[in-house]
Chain A
Amino acid sequence: MAAIRFLGLVLVLVTADLAAQQPDTERGRQVYERWCAACHAVDGAGEGPAAGYMLPRPRDFTRGIYQIRTTPGGDIPTDDDIMRMINEGMPGTTMPGWQDQLSRADRQAVLEYIKSFYPPFETMAAPEPIDFGRAPRVSDDRLEEGRIFYDSIECWQCHGDTGRGYGSSAPELEDDWGYPIRAVDLTKNWKFNGGGSVEEIYRRLRTGMDGTPMPSFSDLLDADFMTEDQLWSLAHYVRSLAPDRPPRVREVIRADRVEPGEVPTTVADERWDEVESFYIPLVAQIIVLPRWFDPSVDAVWVQALHDGNEIALRVTWHDRSESPHPNWMQWQERVLEVMEPREGDLDPAPRPDRLAVQFPRSIPSGMERPYFLMGTSDNPVYLWQWSSTDDAEPAQARGMTEIEPLGGSIASDARWEAGRWQVVLTRSLEPEDTSNRLTFERGTAIPIAFYVWDGDNGEEGTRGAISSWYFIYLLEDAPISTYVTPLMAFFLTGGLGLVVVARAQKRERALETASEGPDPTTPTGRNP
């Protein structure tokens, strides 16, 4: 009897399990339409209501083309491949991860539903993942070998010699749907769509990234042009173009003090190499009209020095072109054509690259600062404006569309090289006219913010990349008390210790001379 009941239970469990494994189309549809359709569209074709506000565009599921796979180029992905995209999202795009947001059953149901947009998933043979093997250890020789292959198989045609994505083919790239697509900046591996580890890079080299210009390199192995081991070297080399860890964001930029007259005023000055760099993320200006959802610059690195009289900032950012560049004109045309919302004047035109560094007009005493987006009519901000076609100049802004030069200029030196702008801006700590221009005080946190415009990406005016308020802190020579106080503390504590020890020893000797007598439980002295 018990055995029958047990069998029955097993039967019930097995049936329940089978039922759970059936693709739950209705559940998949509900999850999809609630959480995915705004971008990927109800019909799965990737043109949902929000799709125009993002580049790269959301995936079109109806063609069964997937970038990030473990299967050979041109093949459909495995379920695990699709689940990984759902779980982890795609860095560098607007696709977030859903692992902690949706239940496992919901994610499984939505996976099945997504596959149903491309019926061949049902009829085609199950895809075979490639056996990628294990990553060999990295070494200098391996990186050198990787560098040689980076040159010989011409990765630089799109990614550029330094990997910053500025190769000569970069302005023309389009995806399989005809949308403009950027060659990835290989020095920012935290933004790689399929992940930035050496293993993930190797997978992309083997499988290619279907739907994009990135081809598969597996045929080169088959043709004996290179070995798997050499392709691993290339993956290691590509990995080595990015830092070990993504940069950390810190709220305060430190301006160290150097000897008077020692502030470097040129971009190429080697002294900058010794100065700490502060990473400031930039994001799209999507707050005031007209907005721009696709800025090409996502961060600046800031270095700062002062010598008691002058302050110099070196601002570095990656930019694929020295705008205005004729080869990038058609890139601008294509980007302006596809990006929503269509606010403001979107005519393609030769536009320069620009940088603005924003300060308050005077250091605020409390927390209150001007509005972070270039101030307001009653509380304007002080700007340093630089452009690739003009000298740098000071300006005052009462909002993003109300900028007026203050007259005079800011000393500057700029260089675009290999996909990167570097601009040095120098000014005396104390301006001649203090009414609208900031006096840099030392030893206090001064609000600072950054704006970058990529002219060849159609950026101008309110269409650009912005930061929120950060701070810059000009280090003062440390007051003498900084060193005297610890020294005094050292001697005081040391002296006290000596006294305590001396007293303990004195008491010990006294006890020894008066020995044989006292009760052993009597306290022998004060606790040190």
Chain B
Amino acid sequence: MRYSDAVTRALLPFALLGLIVACGGDAPETEADDAEVEMPFDVATAGHLQGMVLFEGDPPPPEVLDMSSEPDCAAQWDDQPMRDLVQVSDGHLENVFIYVKEGLDGMDFPRARDTPVMDQVGCRYTPTVIGLMPGQEITFRNSDGLLHNINSSPTVNRGFNISQPVNMDTQRSFASPEVMIPVRCDVHGWMRAYIGVVPHPYHGVTGSGGSFDLRDLPPGEYVIEAWHSQLGTQEQTVTIATGETAEVSFTFTSEMLGTAVVPLGEPIYPHRHHAPHSAPATR
């Protein structure tokens, strides 16, 4: 789809002052070609992928945040506001973005219809990692009622920098696949989030159990990547067979902290999209 369409649609007046509204379905679907896309394979032949992301070693202690300049935000925390960049529970690592990196070339998938919400509560992003498909909308919600700006700095896609000084919702989308797009709030320097855009629905983010579940994959061999904002990336190759559930697990360790290379703004399937040549990653 064309970028300008995405912007036009995203700019439509969704947000309502002082209300938290669930994302309405009032986005006019203008692209007929998009609506016609069907699953490019027979779902009856699909298999599944389940897995777990583990963490070995001692996670770094959470960072104490100074929210004295925003007492309203600080009040939303039970105790001291903290930032846990490496969130581990029982050896299970959270906020890892998992997606199929290779193996789906040449397949066009229908765009996901749901609109994930990235909320801003107590001056932090909830969740901090979200996966999207190209053109799929995301809602940025301000539940704090004070000034946040949502400043995305993609490399492949066009960025945006929205101001939300009150409780409001704003929708945006990204036209091209890109892993990962950093999002920051300049008003509150500790607020960072990441959005992964992949050209298929096979992506997920690990939750409190460190597990993920990618369902209904066409049979075949895939490269799966696990991406973490502090620990870098890992890849594994898996084979999916019809009706079966393959299992895979990734292990990150505390040694990777500080030495990990965290890729940002990398195009996926660059031959299919207009990506800038030799575009530098965020320095």
Contacts and interface: CB of A to CB of B under 8 A. Distances in A.
Interface of A: 43, 45, 60, 62-65, 72-76, 118-120, 123-125, 127-128, 152-154, 157-158, 168-169, 172-174, 176-178, 208-220, 222-225
A215 B168 CA distance: 15
Contacts of B163: 153, 208, 215-217, 219-220
Contacts of A169: 69, 186-189
Nearest to B277: A119
Interface string B253-283: 0000000000000000000001011111011
A217 B276 CA distance: 28
A458 to B, nearest CB: 19
Given A45-B280, A62-B280, A216-B162, A120 B13 contact: no
A222 B147 contact: no
B7 interface: yes
B12 interface: yes
The 3 closest A-B pairs by CB, nearest first: A213-B186, A154-B147, A172-B189
B30 interface: no
B15 interface: yes
A35 to B, nearest CB: 23
B87 interface: no
A216 B161 CA distance: 6
Contact of B283 (A125, A178, A213): A178
Contacts of B278: 43, 62
Contacts of B2: 124-125
A158 B187 contact: yes
A119 B160 contact: no
B178 to A, nearest CB: 13
Contact of A154 (B12, B146, B155, B277): B146
B83 interface: no
Given A120-B276, A123-B274, A225-B17, A73 B168 contact: no
B112 to A, nearest CB: 22
A153 B147 contact: yes
A73 B162 contact: yes
Contacts, number: 129
B159 A219 contact: no
Interface residues of B, dominant DSSP: loop
Contact of B17 (A45, A216, A224): A224
B13 A119 contact: no
20 contacts: A43-B278, A45-B280, A60-B280, A62-B276, A63-B155, A63-B276, A72-B7, A73-B160, A73-B161, A119-B277, A124-B4, A128-B4, A153-B163, A158-B187, A169-B186, A169-B187, A176-B151, A208-B163, A216-B161, A225-B168
A74 B165 contact: no
Contacts of A215: 149-151, 161-163, 186
Contacts of B188: 169
B170 interface: yes
Nearest to B188: A169
A74 B151 contact: no
Contact of B158 (A75, A208, A217): A75
A521 B12 CA distance: 92
Given A73-B161, A153-B165, A213-B161, A219 B15 contact: yes
B211 interface: no
Given A75-B7, A120-B276, A125-B3, A210 B187 contact: no
B143 interface: no
B166 interface: yes
A169 B4 CA distance: 32
Contacts of B69: 168-169
B153 interface: yes
A124 B279 CA distance: 17
B95 interface: no
A125 B4 contact: yes
Contacts of B27: none
Nearest to A183: B186
B43 interface: no
B11 interface: yes
Contacts of A75: 4, 7, 158
Most buried by B among A45, A212, A213, A216: A213
A43 B15 CA distance: 41
B186 A173 contact: yes
